[in-house]
Amino acid sequence: ESTDPVTPQLRAIDAVYHADRAFVEAYEGGVTSVVTGPGSANVIGGQFAAVKTFGRSVDEMIIKQPVAMKVAFGENPKTVYNEKHQSPMTRMATAAILRENLFKAKEYKELWEEYKKNTAELDKPEFDFKLEALVQVLNGEIPLKAHAHRADDIITAMRIAKEFNLNITLDHCTEGYLIKDILAEAGLPVIVGPMLTDRSKIELRNQNLKNPGILSKYGVKVAIMTDHPCVPVQHLCMCASLAVKEGMEPKEALKAITINAAEIVGIADRVGSLEKGKDADIVIYDGNPLEMMTKVQKTIINGTVVYERVRND
């Protein structure tokens, strides 16, 4: 929705097409859950949702929504709005717009809290749909999901989160390995990817397949994403395999596409590992899932077999 740089009120669930063939490709490729939402054209893009890859409608597929509030740093917002001769046209403006709206949401939240304490004497504050959405971030109910590639953008995202005492995930984190010690000290999780793309813009010039392995070895909690459709979601295991090839421990790579990912996005009570009480989401392979030639034999979502490979032998 590149008509306004601030659109926190947008909800992913209103744009997910449940019959997209990519969902079929996902579960046939062993992916049972995804997190999806608005892109990175706007400074504040809107609310992400976590959904299963199988279901008759998005309402049946939902694991949790909202699961995060998308914000974007770097080239994307300033490029989109530079073409419109509108702010933000610089990284400074991107940070300023995010701060301004977080301050407004903080004031809005305080006004409503005061009103609820004394409804008899105080005027009811005017409802603001945008600020209402941001209050969930201020309350710590959902994290900021920060699109940031370059090291300085990553650090700006961290700075703003600290200023407002917010939970945050660092998405893409392309130059994370260049500031590995800072990320480790901060104790913030990262969601790395996509890993099978070219250096299509200037902020990707330091893209390195060693990134997830380096960060993991420094004690940073790492998840790996495909950033579908940049890399089709069914190739998630391939991305983890490439991380192993470039130095990541195999166990850490598996965690990066299972339990780490679930914990980082706040849905580990339902998915991410095989434990009693969690959803029965199981994928059976004919070998090591990190090996290129390994095939999915069966995918089970919510206890139901949704895919079974047809054997030709």
- Gap between the Cα atoms of 89 and 45, Å rounded: 16
Structural domain spans, the chain: 12-308
Give the burial class of 203: count Cβ atoms within 10 A of its Cβ; 0-12 exposed, 13-18 middle, 19 or more buried. Answer: buried
- Closest alpha carbon to 169 in 107, 206, 233, 220: 220
Whether residue 313 has pLDDT greater than 50: no
Q: What is the pLDDT of residue 102?
A: 98
108-161 residue pLDDT tens: 999 999 999 998 999 999 999 999 999 999 999 999 999 999 999 999 999 999
The values of phi and psi at residue 173, to 5°, are: 50, 45
Buried b (16+ CB within 10 A) or exposed e, 19-31: eeebbebbbbbbb
The mean pLDDT value for 40-60 works out to 97
191-209 residue pLDDT tens: 999 988 888 889 999 999 9
At 180, the pLDDT band (50, 70, 90 cuts) reads very high
214-265 residue pLDDT tens: 999 999 999 999 999 999 999 999 999 999 999 999 999 999 999 999 999 9
2-14 residue pLDDT tens: 999 999 999 999 9
**At which residue do the structure tokens 């941001």 appear?**
134
- Gap between the Cα atoms of 114 and 106, Å rounded: 12
Strand partners, 35: 50
Would you state the structure tokens that stand for residue 34, as one six-digit string? Answer: 């995804």
The CATH classification number of 12-308 equals 3.20.20.140
The values of phi and psi at residue 28, to 5°, are: -70, -25
At 312, the pLDDT band (50, 70, 90 cuts) reads low
| Residues 212/255, Cβ–Cβ less than 8 Å | no
Residues 6+ apart with CB under 8 A from 105: 131, 134, 135, 137, 138
- Gap between the Cα atoms of 157 and 161, Å rounded: 6
Rounded to the nearest integer, the mean pLDDT of the chain is: 96
Model pTM score: 0.94
